Structure 1
Amino acid sequence: MAAARRGPVAGTRAEGREGRFFSWEEVALRTGRVAAFLQQRWLVIDRKVYDVTSFCQRHPGGPRVLCHYAGQDATDAFTAFHLHKTQVSKYLNSLLIGELAPDQPSSEPSKNQLLVKDFRELRSIVEKMGLLKPNSLFFFLIFLHIVLLDVAAWLTIWYFGTSVGPFFIGVLLFTTAQSQMSWFQHDLGHLSVFTKSKWNHLVHTILMAIVKGMTASWWNNLHFQHHAKPNCFRKDPDLNMHPIVFALGKKLAAELGMQKKKFMPYNYQHKYFSIIGPVLLVPFFQLSILYFSIKRKEWLELALIVTFNIRICLSYVPLMGFKYFMVYYWLSRFLESVWFIWISQMNHIPMNIDYDKNMDWMSTQLYATCNVDQSLFNDWFTGHLNFQIEHHLFPTMPRHNFSKVAPLVKSLCARHGMDYQCKPLLTAFRDILRSLKDSGEAWRDAYLHG
C-alpha cells in the first residue's frame, strides 16, 4: 500500500484540518495503548479522521464505546448508534484532524470491501423504506399491557390475600410486568420508541428508575459497549463473567486452562449455570447500579430509584407485612433474572467468543448473534430479541420492523456466503448448555494436558 503523508502527533489538531492526510497504518497506531508519544485515540468516520483522545470522557454514550473503536473504522457503528447524525456533527467538527489519503480504501484494507459496500447500501434501503420509524400505537400498547400486569399483581394480593395460590399468582404477574418492562426500557435505550432522541432519553431515565428501580445511564454504559463489540473479550461487558464464574468460548477457555487457572470447576458449568447465573445477577445489578451512580454522581436517577422502592413498599407491605413482602419481592427478582439471563444469552453464548478481530460491522454482528424462530409467543416472550441479528445490525430500529428487514438481511448473507442462524426457542436454550459444556471440556483438557 502506498504510504500517505505523515499525520500530526499530539498537539497539532488545528493544523490537521487543513488538507492533512493519513494512512490506515497511522490510524491503527492511535489506540491509546502503545508508546507514550502515541497515547492518542483516533478513529475514522466516512473517511474523516477524528482525534477523540480528550472527548472520550465527555462522550454521552460513555468513554469505553469510543475507546473500543480507537484505531479503527467506526463509520458503521456511528451510523448504527446515532438516530440524528446531523445533531452530533458539531461535536465531530471540533475533533476533526484530517482525512484518509486518496489512495486509501474507505475501510481498513483487511476488511471485505464489497461486503462493507453492500451493507451500507442495505442500510440506505432500510432508511428509505422507513423501517427506522417507530409505530406509536405499538409501543403504547406494549406499555399499557405492562401497567395492567403490574396492577393485576397488586389487585391479586389485595383481593385474595396472601394464601399460597394468590401469593404465587401475584409473584408471576409482577415478574412478568418487570420482565416486559426490561424489554420496553431496552427499546427506549435504543432510541426506537420516539422519533426524537431527547424524548427517548427522558422517558428512559424516568421509567427505568421508577418502574424498574434501575438507572438508564448505567444500562446505556454497559449495553452500548456490548453492541459495539459483541462477544469480544475485554470489550463486551457481558463477558465479564469470564473467567470468574464461567469459561466462555472454547478458545478463551483453553487459554485459561493453559494458564492453569481454576476459579471454578468449569467442566461442570453447564450444570450450575441455571442456578448460579440468575442468583449472582440479582446482587450484581443492585450493587453495580449503586456504584456506577455514586461514581458518576447521577443523583437524580438515584432519587428516582428511591421513589420506586417507596412505591413498592407502600403498595405491598400494608397488605402482606414486611417479611412476606421480602419473599415476594426477591422471589420475583430471581425469576426475572432467570427469564432475563436465558433470553439474553441464547443468542450470544453459543456463538463465536474471542478477542476483537476488528472485522467489518456486519461480520462482527453475525458471528456473535443468532435468531430464534418467529411466533407471537416468541416475539412477546423475548421482547422481539428472537430477531437478535437484525437488532444488532440496526440497533435503533423499532422491534416491530425486525421481521420486515429480516428477508433483506438473509439475502445479503446468502450473497456473501455468511451463516444466518435461526433456531427454535428450546434449541436455543439447549445450545447455551451445550456451548458451556464444550468450553468447559476445552478448559479441562488444556488444564490437565496443556
Structure 2
Amino acid sequence: MTSTTLTRVNPSTGSDFSALSRRIVAAGLLRRRSRYYAVRFLVTDAAFVAGWVLFAWLGDSWAQLLVAALLAVAFTQVAFLGHDAGHRQVSGRRGRSDVLGLLHGSLGVGLSYGWWMDKHTRHHANPNHEDRDPDVGAGALVWTREQAATRRGLLAALARRQAFLFFPLLLLEGLNLHVSSVRAVLRMPMRHRRWDAVLLAAHLLGYSAAVLLTLSPLRALAFVAVQQGLFGLYMGCAFAPNHKGMPVLTERDRLDFLRRQVLTSRDVGGAAVGVLLGGLNYQIEHHLFPSMPRPNLRRARPLVAQFCAERGIDYRSTTLTESYRQVLRYLHEVGAPLRQGRSPRG
C-alpha cells in the first residue's frame, strides 16, 4: 500500500487487541529473556570494544577505513540494544533500563537516550501520523504531497529527486543524529538530562580524541566520513523499511490501536534479516507489543498474522529488497507533481 490516503475504517470497541493480547500472553511471549540478552549484550559490547582495540593497534594507517566500516556495524548493533532497553524488553525495571539505554545510546554511540525516548515514544503512539509522528515530519525528505507543496528553491529540487537521493542522504544521518542529540540535551527537558549530557559529551570528546591523536588529519577525516556515513546509512536502512511507503494518517482517520499499528507497518524478511536489523523487521509485532523481548517477535509473527486474517485486517509482509523498492516508489510518487511543474496538492 503506497497511497498517502488510508481507506477509512470505523473504530472497533478495542476488544480485538484484547483478544490478541490473550493469545500472546498464553503463548508466553511477553516473558523476559534474560539469558538471551546476557549473551547479546556480552557479544555486542565485546565486538564494540574489539573494534576500538583494533583501531588502537593499527595506528596511523589507511587500513583504518576497514575498521571504520566494522565500527559502523558495531555502533548500529549497540544502538539496537539501547532501543531494546528503552522499550523495557531487557528488564521491567525502569531504572535499570535507563542505565542500559544511557550507556549504549549516549555514551556508546553518541545518540542522546532522552531525546530518542521522547521522539520514539511519540512515533509509537501515532505511527505514520502526518501531524503527530516526528518520523514523517518534513525534513530533507518529504513524506506527503502536502509537505511537498511547501517546498521552494533547493528544497523543492531535493523533493523532486528524493527517491534517487534517498540512500546518499542517509550517509548524513549519523551526523544528523549527533547534532540533534546535542541540541536536545541543551534545550529540551528530559529524564536524566544531566547524565545524558555528561555521557554524550564523554562520547564526543573520547571519539574525537581517539581519532585525532591516532590518525593524521587526512586519514582522520576519511575515517570519520566512512564510519559516520556507514553508521547513518545502516541506521536509516534498518528503520526505513518498517513504515515508509505505508499509509500516512491524518486527523480524519479514526482507527483503534490494533489497526493503527498494523495498517501503518510492514514486516520484512525473516530470522536472518532479524539479525541484520536488530529485530526491527518484525515491526508489526514490535508496535503491538513494544516490551516483547526481541527473540520472541519471530514467534509472535504467525499468531499476529493469523489473527489479522481472521479479522480481515491487512497484514503486510515482504522481502527486504521489495521493501526498499516500495519506499523508493513512494518517495518518487510524492515528488511527482513537483517534477511536472504543478502544485503537489493538485
Alpha-carbon distance in 2 for matches of 1:369, 1:448:
25
Q: CA deviation at 1:449?
A: 9.3
Q: CA deviation at 1:443?
A: 5.0
Identical aligned residues as a percent: 23
Gaps of 5+ in 2: 1-8
Equivalence for 2:266: 370
Q: Which amino acid aligns with 1:370?
A: R
Q: Structure 2 residue aligned with 1:209, among 98, 101, 106?
A: 106
Equivalence for 1:130: 28
Q: Closer, same or farther in 2 for the Cα pair 1:247/1:213, shift >3 Å? A: closer
Equivalence for 2:162: 269
Please give the per-residue CA displacement for 1:323-366, whole angstroms capped at 9, x wherever unaligned: 53343234211111111112211111110113142311111111
* TM-score (ref. length: structure 2): 0.87
Contact 1:384 1:399 in 2 (8 A): yes
Contact 2:108 2:203 in 1 (8 A): yes
Alpha-carbon distance in 1 for matches of 2:345, 2:319:
37
RMSD across aligned C-alpha pairs, in angstroms?
A: 2.4
Q: Closer, same or farther in 2 for the Cα pair 1:319/1:288, shift >3 Å? A: closer
Number of residue pairs matched by the alignment: 331
Q: CA deviation at 1:435?
A: 1.2
Equivalence for 1:284: 176
Q: Structure 2 residue aligned with 1:293, among 159, 174, 185?
A: 185
* TM-score (ref. length: structure 1): 0.68
Q: Which amino acid aligns with 2:19?
A: E
Equivalence for 1:226: 123
Please give the per-residue CA displacement for 1:400-424, whole angstroms capped at 9, x wherever unaligned: 1011111111111101212211111
Contact 1:153 1:169 in 2 (8 A): no
Matched, 1:245 2:143: no
Q: CA deviation at 1:256?
A: 5.0
Q: Closer, same or farther in 2 for the Cα pair 1:259/1:344, shift >3 Å? A: closer
Alpha-carbon distance in 2 for matches of 1:355, 1:196:
35
Contact 1:260 1:447 in 2 (8 A): no
Q: Structure 1 residue aligned with 2:281, among 362, 379, 386?
A: 386
Equivalence for 1:38: none
Gaps of 5+ in 1: 1-108
Contact 2:111 2:200 in 1 (8 A): yes
Please give the per-residue CA displacement for 1:226-257, whole angstroms capped at 9, x wherever unaligned: 000010012000012x2x43231xxx31x456
Q: Closer, same or farther in 2 for the Cα pair 1:213/1:325, shift >3 Å? A: same
Contact 2:31 2:293 in 1 (8 A): yes
Alpha-carbon distance in 2 for matches of 1:213, 1:323:
23
Q: Structure 2 residue aligned with 1:305, among 175, 197, 200?
A: 200
Alpha-carbon distance in 2 for matches of 1:282, 1:340:
8
Alpha-carbon distance in 2 for matches of 1:430, 1:374:
18
Alpha-carbon distance in 2 for matches of 1:186, 1:259:
33
Matched, 1:359 2:237: no
Alpha-carbon distance in 1 for matches of 2:165, 2:110:
28
After superposition, where does 1:153-172 map in structure 2 within 5 Å? 153-164=51-62, 166-172=63-69
Matched, 1:415 2:310: yes
Alpha-carbon distance in 1 for matches of 2:71, 2:151:
44
Matched, 1:142 2:40: yes
Q: Which amino acid aligns with 1:395?
A: P
Q: Structure 2 residue aligned with 1:198, among 84, 89, 95?
A: 95
Equivalence for 1:447: 343
